[in-house]
Structure 1
Amino acid sequence: MKKTQLLIVFILVGGLMAAAGGGAAWWWLNSRGATPQVAEQKPQVDTREYRYVSLDKVIVMLRGREGEPLSHYLALDLVFKTPLESEKTAKAHLPLMRSIAVKAMSAYTFEQAGQMTVDQFAAGINQAYDEGYAREPGGKPFVEAMIGKLIIE
């Protein structure tokens, strides 16, 4: 009877040691990155100092339907988020930035403009600036163009 009890104790201890060893190996491999895991990325914080450069009173005639007697227009004020070191360049580029905005906004009809949200206008403006500045050697002197005021009449 003692031999049977001793054998059962050895089997139980061996099983517990195998389970503990397997758990320890699993923990060690996971902590060392042996199994592929999706790395949790923290958003990078932009610590640059920004200035905000404004471009006021951009007025665009909207396309109308053929034969429509009334003219419609869109007026907007833009604000450019500019890194401190690019503020002077951004101010020098205001005529170019006005031209790109007028070209982009004049493609809309009154109906299209009336159905768009401010976010959609901002996305369209930013896309136009990305395309317009793709040919410029220095790139854009601002990070983002935002809409300060929008009037569709």
Structure 2
Amino acid sequence: MKSKAKLIAIVAAVALLAAGGAGVAVWWMQHDKAGAKGADGKDVKVEVKDEKPAPDYKYVTLDKVLVMLRGPNGAAVSHYMAVDIVFKTLPDQEKRTKDHLPLLRTVAVKALSAYTLDGAQAMSVEDFAQLLNKAYAESYAADRREAPFAEALIGKLIIE
């Protein structure tokens, strides 16, 4: 009789474990579905994108672009702006970007030389970066060529 009691206890333990496992599985499945619901309780479609990693950019520097600033009436004053520009480029375009540095310096000087001291001091670094990127885009569009860099960034800006 003792062996029958042991057998019943083992069968009961196995049944309890199976029921517990099923309960955990149901809870897990409900938990997964709850995560895909929006704040209003409706199902939210979750898209899994195959995102590519960002390209490994190289950075090419154009140092010491110096520009004399204009006075309020347009006359040259003894104030200047010094800018270091950094070009964000793909590795296969790095050499081409370096070859274009004289052109890029010329475009930067042309774009920045129209500013007065007060106008330049009122601008932020982001404003200068946008101005230069626009000038580069216009220059390359006028030549019907593609720019060898993705973006121009400001590495240093001094207004004296």
TM-score by length of 1: 0.67
RMSD of the alignment, in Å? 2.7
Match of 2:113 among 95, 106, 119: 106
Query: Is 2:65 the counterpart of 1:58?
Result: yes
Separation in structure 2 between the aligned mates of residue 136 and residue 89 of structure 1, nearest angstrom: 16
Separation in structure 2 between the aligned mates of residue 122 and residue 69 of structure 1, nearest angstrom: 23
Q: Where does residue 95 of structure 2 map in the other structure?
A: 88
**Structure 2 gap ranges (5+):** 1-46
Query: Is 2:123 the counterpart of 1:126?
Result: no
Task: Deviation per CA, 1:63-108: give whole Å up to 9, x if none.
Answer: 1123978411100000000001100000000000000000000011
TM-score by length of 2: 0.65
**Structure 1 gap ranges (5+):** 1-39
Report the number of matched residues: 117
Counterpart code for 1:56: D
DSSP-derived class of the 2:98 partner: helix
Separation in structure 2 between the aligned mates of residue 69 and residue 106 of structure 1, nearest angstrom: 10
